[in-house]
Amino acid sequence: MNLTAEGATVRYPGAVADALADADLTLAAGELVAVVGPNGGGKTTLIRALLNLAPLARGSVALDGRPIQEWRRGELARIVALVPQREDTPFSWRVEEIVGFGRYARRGPLEAMGPDDTAAVERALTRCDVAEFRERRIETLSGGEWQRVRIARALAQEPRLLVLDEPTASLDLGHEMELFELVRRLVAEGLAALVVTHDLNLAARYADRMLLLDGGRIAASGSPETVLQAELLSRVFRWPVAVMPLVDGPPQVLALRPGQDHPRYS
Amino acid sequence: MKAILILALLAVLACLAGLALGAVPMSPRVIVAALLSPDAPGAAIVRDLRAPRVVLAFVVGGSLGVSGAALQALVRNPLADPYLLGISGGAGLAAVVAIALGFSGAWGVPAAAFLGGLGAIALVYRLSAVAGRRLDPHILVLAGVVVSAFTGALISAVLTLSPAEQLRNAFLWLLGGFTAASWSTVLVFAVYAVLPLLLLFGSARALDLLSLGEEPAQSLGLDAPRARRVVYLSTSLLTAASVAVCGVVGFVGLVAPHALRGLLGPLHRRLLPAVFLASGGFLVLADAAARTAARPIELPVGVVTALVGVPLFAVLLRRTLR
Amino acid sequence: MPGRRAALLILMLAGCRDAPPPPAPGLTDDAGVAVNLGEPIQRIVSLIPASTELVFALGAGDRLVGRTSWCDFPAEALAVPDLGNGIGPNIEAVVAARPDLVLLYKSASNRSAAEQLRSFGIPTLELATDRMEDFDRITRLLGAALGRREEAESLVVRTARDLDSATVLPSQPPTVFILAWDRPPMTLGRGSFLSEILERAGAKNLFDDLATSSAPISIEAVASRDPDFVLVTGSGEPAIAGRVEWQVVPAVRDRRFLRIDGSEFNRPSPRIADAVRRLAAELRGAMR
């Protein structure tokens, strides 16, 4: 699995500026890349560009050597699973049905689901800790539970690249950590993962590489240490921050209150 | 599986009721005799009037039900009905003009209505393309509202300029009825409806995914633009033909999908066949009631479906909201 | 097509009327309104084809200054200015004709027209010209209004005698289905003028159990009652003759049609007896 972008540029119709400009990126199996940046910086647009959900004005994106535009949706869904930021549906689906949708890409429209499909759904339900909800209707789920169900659906696709857009938005601390632990485990097993997140610190602790997007451009990319620079972050997020190195880990970011100086810690 | 069998049985019972009821009271024995032999008393009525009506009402009802269910997934709104996209407006306008111009052939008004429906389909498609988002659910609904309003205004204008009785007759036609049903109409409609119905049944998984939204559907492997085109064209063609054959019959595309979705769940593989059977049976019973309630006077079917459909729908809504 | 127009007209007249109250002493119209007519009436606007015919029959045709587009008899009527519809009339046009008297068709749709005309101070007589029984009353009322009482009385007597001589009363009248409209199928019940003409011409209305003037009916009902004839308006082959679903009715299958054409079948006018005679002749010809 190899996803590369070169100079990818997206401009939405009627917009005055590019939503994404000259983005270069490579993703390979076994790594977790976190995409961070301020709101409106182009993070979701990057995902759309990578998955052919938005047309490229300039540049190119290729998956396993083939231009992304040449991939049929079904083919693509067997390799890449996306969990979009927001999703709502008017119908009262059961959790099991939603996760089952992840298998549609592997079966023709009239082909029945087989035992390996059932097994994949089971695995996905268990890994995302939603197996006990399988009969529940989605409108009875909390925001976090709905999130986990959608991730289970993505896992049911048995993808080689997992793309998550703000997956921890509605999750509590415990579930947040569980989610990132899960993704880390999957990456260790050989999956590639691209995670858009607003949580700089979690990103730093779990990601192999980070990408900082600002105004549609990549402002920094590389290891967490490279990307998390106080001056750069303060400028990009328009708020003063301090970056504190952990003794046995990546740096952590602390936003400063007005008048506050670099914090002291024991 | 059990549910489908029960529905099939109910559908058969509805058809039998449709054969048994009508302007002329007939005992079950007379009806069975009439079905078996063309010379039995009352055979002409049962075989040449009621039987084609029952079959036509069933197929039209089933088509409208399946179209309604599919459209609800397409525009992601459980209150969508087949006439949402302006088809009834286009067909109605063409029919009213045809009546005003005195088209008298057996196929004059229906053919005009069908062409009018096609015109509305093309117009809505074009409007959605002009907005840059071909077949996007929100744009479709808006375009449908625009076309409905536009054709509605034109219908009012035509009726205002018509003599008083043409006005009443145009209304009666618009309110729907199966009075002109014959075996040839049944054949034409059935042959025509096979392909769109098969396409819709085959789109069951696509409909599941479309109801989630464009991005989730595509990321799960659906070629969303193509699926939307297939669903849009199939539902539109079925609806246009229905209006051509029997006028505008409301609630058929709304009640069964809603009720069955609550009972059987929204999975379209299970839902669509069930909706076909239930809507078909519903329209057969409505037609039977139209022929019997005020005999020998025949009520327009659209009035019966509305009178029954509205309270039914209110009950369904209450149950969903509880 | 003229036949269709006649059919529409029949339905129109059959479709909108209420029962008139019993006549009161003095000049009271069919809506029960007492109308004061001062000076001799010189300018009449007749918004009903039947009253237009009557005004001419009473010898006062030269006083007409307005008629409806449907007033086509007698030929002299065509010279009178056409003011448009009789139901929902053009008030402006009527007022512009400066009438001393307006004859208005009594129906719910004309209620506001009556009020508007009266508010302009124009004497208006609302007349329910729906059925045969209305003829005598309306003729006498118009005679009183126009100062032609004797002419009115003799017209009533003449018409009654004419009608009696034209009436046919066979021992076994054939049954006739009146096809008023085909999509959806509609018929006229016993509460309609044409049904009365039919009965006098020696036939039985298939749907004389329907008290209403017009109603949509099932083809089934027609087929099971199996009429001897089907009455259609206009000439030539009726549209239903070729329709598959109608072949269930033996009279349609065997093309047993009675055709009538002419405005005397639409309205209770001095030509009532003519209408009966013509229909009776058509019936006789068909039964041979």
* Interface list for chain C against chain B, based on CB atoms closer than 8 Å: 1, 4, 8-9, 11-12, 15-16, 87-88, 181-185, 207, 210, 215-221, 223-224, 239, 242-245, 247-248
* Sign of the CA dihedral running B262, B264, B270, B272: negative
pLDDT at B273 (0 to 100):
96
Distance (Å) from the alpha carbon of A253 to chain B's nearest alpha carbon: 33
- Judged by DSSP in three states, A193 sits in strand
Q: Which of A21-25, A175-179, B163-167, C1-5 is least confident?
A: C1-5
List chain B residues with CB under 8 Å of C244. Answer: 106, 182-184
pLDDT at C262 (0 to 100):
85
Taking the CA of residue B74 as centre, how many other CA atoms within 13 Å lie in the half-sphere pointing to its CB? 31
* Separation CA B151–CA B156 (nearest Å): 9
* Residue that terminates a domain, selected from C137, C165, C193: C165
What would the two tokens of residue C207 be?
């749907």
Comparing A70 with A40, the larger pLDDT belongs to: A70
Measure CB to CB from residue B165 to each of C11, C183, C220 and give the nearest one. C11
pLDDT at B267 (0 to 100):
95
**Same domain as C161, residue C25:** yes
Q: How far does Cα B239 stand from its chain's mean position?
A: 6
What is the arithmetic mean of pLDDT over A182-211?
A: 94
Neighbors of chain A with 3 or more C-beta pairs under 8 Å: B
C15 has a pLDDT exceeding 60:
no
Give me the residue spans of the domains in chain B. 2-321
A59 phi and psi angles, rounded to 5 deg: 85, -175
B239 has a pLDDT exceeding 50:
yes
Comparing A27 with B46, the larger pLDDT belongs to: A27
Partner-chain contact B23 C220, CB within 8 Å: yes
Interface test with A, best of B220, B261, B264, B322 (most A CBs within 10 A): B220
Partner-chain contact B173 C4, CB within 8 Å: no
B212 has a pLDDT exceeding 50:
yes
Q: Which of B80-84, B206-210, C201-205 is least confident?
A: B80-84
**Same domain as C192, residue C157:** no
Does some domain include residue C10? no
Sheet order of strands, A66-67 included: A20-28, A2-10, A58-63, A66-67
pLDDT at A33 (0 to 100):
97
* Separation CA C187–CA C70 (nearest Å): 22
Does some domain include residue C13? no
Do chains B and C meet with 3 or more Cβ pairs nearer than 8 Å? yes
Distance (Å) from the alpha carbon of A264 to chain B's nearest alpha carbon: 46
Q: Which of A86-95, B268-277, C105-114 has the highest mean pLDDT?
A: B268-277
Contact between B211 and A91 under an 8 Å Cβ cutoff? The reply is yes
Q: Which domain holds residue C229?
A: 175-287
B137-186 confidence digits (pLDDT tens): 888 888 888 999 999 899 888 887 777 666 777 777 888 888 888 898 89
* Interface list for chain B against chain C, based on CB atoms closer than 8 Å: 22-24, 42, 44-45, 48-50, 52, 99, 102, 104-106, 109, 163-166, 168-169, 172-173, 177, 179-184, 291, 295-300
* Separation CA C17–CA B245 (nearest Å): 33
- Which band of pLDDT confidence, cut at 50, 70 and 90, is reported for residue C21? very low
Average pLDDT, chain A: 92
pLDDT at C28 (0 to 100):
84
- Which band of pLDDT confidence, cut at 50, 70 and 90, is reported for residue C11? low
- Judged by DSSP in three states, C70 sits in coil
Q: Which of A55-69, B35-49, B102-116 has the highest mean pLDDT?
A: A55-69
A184: CB partners within 8 A, 6+ apart = A32, A206
Contact between C110 and C87 under an 8 Å Cβ cutoff? The reply is yes
Contact between A162 and A191 under an 8 Å Cβ cutoff? The reply is yes
C213-262 confidence digits (pLDDT tens): 888 899 999 998 999 999 998 777 788 888 888 999 999 999 999 999 88
Q: Which of A114-123, B39-48, B160-169, B254-263 is least confident?
A: B160-169
List chain A residues with CB under 8 Å of B203. Answer: 109
What is the arithmetic mean of pLDDT over A133-158?
A: 92
Distance (Å) from the alpha carbon of A167 to chain B's nearest alpha carbon: 14
Does some domain include residue C2? no
pLDDT at C102 (0 to 100):
94
Partner-chain contact A104 B261, CB within 8 Å: no
First to last CA, chain A: 44
Architecture in CATH for domain A2-227: 3-Layer(aba) Sandwich (3.40)
What is the arithmetic mean of pLDDT over C76-92?
A: 89
Does some domain include residue C216? yes
Interface test with B, best of A101, A113, A117 (most B CBs within 10 A): A101
Measure CB to CB from residue A90 to each of B78, B132, B205 and give the nearest one. B78
- Which band of pLDDT confidence, cut at 50, 70 and 90, is reported for residue B108? confident
Q: Which residue in chain C has the smallest CA separation from B26?
A: C224
Integer CA distances (angstroms), B288 to A44, B285, B291, C75, in order: 56, 5, 5, 50
- Judged by DSSP in three states, B106 sits in coil
* Separation CA A108–CA A214 (nearest Å): 41
Distance (Å) from the alpha carbon of B252 to chain C's nearest alpha carbon: 21
**Same domain as C199, residue C280:** yes
pLDDT at A94 (0 to 100):
95
What is the arithmetic mean of pLDDT over B102-127?
A: 84
Architecture in CATH for domain B2-321: Orthogonal Bundle (1.10)
What is the arithmetic mean of pLDDT over C200-224?
A: 91
Place of tokens 């009802």: B61
B-C contacts at Cβ under 8 angstroms: 100
Does some domain include residue C73? yes
C3 has a pLDDT exceeding 60:
no
* Residue that terminates a domain, selected from C165, C195, C212: C165
pLDDT at C5 (0 to 100):
60
Does some domain include residue C116? yes
3-state helix, strand, coil in chain B (%, to 5): 80, 0, 20
pLDDT at B25 (0 to 100):
81
A3-48 confidence digits (pLDDT tens): 999 999 999 988 889 999 999 999 999 999 999 999 888 999 999 9
Residue (of C56, C51, C48) closest to C13 by Cα position? C48
**Same domain as C226, residue C111:** no
C188 has a pLDDT exceeding 60:
yes
Q: What is the ipTM of this complex?
A: 0.91
Comparing C13 with C238, the larger pLDDT belongs to: C238
Neighbors of chain C with 3 or more C-beta pairs under 8 Å: B
Measure CB to CB from residue B49 to each of C8, C182, C219 and give the nearest one. C219
pLDDT at B171 (0 to 100):
78
**Same domain as C253, residue C211:** yes
Kindly report the CATH number assigned to the domain that includes residue C129: 3.40.50.1980
Contact between C34 and C13 under an 8 Å Cβ cutoff? The reply is no
Does some domain include residue C5? no
Partner-chain contact C220 B291, CB within 8 Å: yes
Give me the residue spans of the domains in chain A. 2-227, 239-266
- Which band of pLDDT confidence, cut at 50, 70 and 90, is reported for residue B220? very high
pLDDT at C24 (0 to 100):
31
A-B contacts at Cβ under 8 angstroms: 80
- Which band of pLDDT confidence, cut at 50, 70 and 90, is reported for residue B102? confident
* Separation CA C121–CA B30 (nearest Å): 66
Does some domain include residue C170? no
Integer CA distances (angstroms), A122 to A97, A147, B265, C218, C236, in order: 12, 17, 21, 59, 75
pLDDT at B105 (0 to 100):
62
A184-193 confidence digits (pLDDT tens): 999 999 999 9
Q: Which residue in chain B has the smallest CA separation from A94?
A: B265
Q: How far does Cα A67 stand from its chain's mean position?
A: 21
pLDDT at C8 (0 to 100):
59
List chain B residues with CB under 8 Å of C182. Answer: 104
**Same domain as C138, residue C188:** no
pLDDT at A265 (0 to 100):
61
pLDDT at C211 (0 to 100):
87
* Separation CA C127–CA C117 (nearest Å): 15
pLDDT at C13 (0 to 100):
57
List chain B residues with CB under 8 Å of A78. Answer: 221
* Interface list for chain A against chain B, based on CB atoms closer than 8 Å: 13, 51, 53, 72-74, 76-78, 80-82, 84, 87-94, 97, 101-102, 104-105, 109-110, 153, 157
